[in-house]
Amino acid sequence: MAQANKKVCVTGAGGYLGSWVVKHLLSNNYIVHGTVRQPGDAKYAHLNQLEKASDNLKLFKADVLDYDSLCSSIAGCTGVFHVASPVPSSSVSNPQAALNPTLNFFVELIEPAVKGTLNVLKACLEANVKRVVVVSSGSAIFLNPRWPEGQIKDEACWSDKEYCAATNNWYCLSKTEAESEAFEFAKRSGLDVVSVCPTLILGPLMQSTINASSLVLIKILKEGYESQENRDRSIVDVRDVAQALLLAYEKPEAEGRYLCTAHRIKARDLSDKLRSMFPQYNYPKSFTDGGKEEKLSSEKLQRLGWSYRSLEETLVDSIESYRKAGILD
């Protein structure tokens, strides 16, 4: 992709992944428009401290459900990285949930994910953006009970929306619906849309709040579970995801979806590995059977030039950042 105009927009700039994407873009000499929902909030302070931020980063107040705010943020940009989307931990709070359990998921997850993505894409079309990189998720790939057993899951596999809903996997549904709608929009409008589908993202925190995927690792270190399911974990480093997004944007040949995953490990093996490096933490005491192994492939992304760091580096750097933030005290 031509480098003449290097102004791009990142939605959800202050989140876990968004912050690393902004850092990566600034260090690659991009001018970045970052969207945040509460400008001035201390939780975004780290962004202004990034190298080159004072000259090349401008934050905009925008909610993905507010089309006009997106238009102002995206105006003048050649590319957009659509990172913003709600990522719940185990529960989604909304007092109406007790009355109608599907309503809160719709309001808090599905609508911002799906309508939010379509709003971003419409604003991109309006602003004549050349390419949009949409951050989807491995959860838009894996949840498909009809996928032949033993066959590698890659970009050809889509999560089954009805199955997601029937099994209450509302986050998976939100990401599957948002990504498939994004490609439908691209087909109708001619907008150049590429998606990246990361699996569980770990790696150092830049922001002061704890996001849902980092909490998975923090709980393994702190919670002292009596028993945990010995499930497959597919892990990728947040810095490698930021690199994947840049490749998906810059490589002219990039098209369609890209599964972004690096290391597959059983929960018990992950716990053992962590314990051997950091024996002082409160690890799960036992594991129950975790079901079938998933075979995944990020070969398509590797063909674009993507590579990833070791799992040990990701774990050591994650834990170092949690320690510095006082999260493990």
Ligand X SMILES: NC(=O)c1ccc[n+]([C@@H]2O[C@H](COP(=O)([O-])OP(=O)(O)OC[C@H]3O[C@@H](n4cnc5c(N)ncnc54)[C@H](OP(=O)(O)O)[C@@H]3O)[C@@H](O)[C@H]2O)c1
CB-CB neighbours of 52 under 10 Å = 16
Question: Active-site residue 222, yes or no?
Answer: no
Q: How far is the CB of 10 from ligand X (least distance, A)?
A: 9
Residue 132, token pair as written in the block: 């949009």
Minimal distance in Å, beta carbon 21 to ligand X?
Answer: 9
Residue closer to ligand X, measured from CB, 134 or 149: 134
What gap in Å lies between CA 210 and CA 197, rounded to an integer?
21
Closest CB to ligand X belongs to which residue?
Answer: 15
Nearer to ligand X, 113 or 227 (CB): 113
> Do residues 89 and 212 lie in contact, with contact meaning Cβ atoms separated by under 8 Å?
yes
In the complex, the smallest distance separating the C-beta of residue 73 from ligand X, rounded to whole angstroms, is 10
Give 116 or 284: the residue with its C-beta nearer to ligand X. Answer: 116
Which tokens is 149 given? Answer: 């057993």
Residue 318 CA neighbour count, 13 Å, CB half:
30
Between 205 and 254, name the residue whose CB sits nearer to ligand X. Answer: 205
Q: What residues line the site for ligand X (CB under 6 A)?
A: 12, 14-18, 36-37, 63-65, 83-87, 112, 116, 135, 137, 175, 198, 200-201, 211, 213
Dihedral through CA 184, CA 188, CA 194, CA 197, nearest 10? Answer: -10
Query: At its nearest, how many Å lie between ligand X and the CB of residue 90?
Result: 14
Is 194 in contact with 258 (CB distance < 8 Å)? yes
58, 61, 122, 175: which is the annotated catalytic residue? 175
H/E stretch holding 22 reads helix 16-27
Catalytic residues: 175
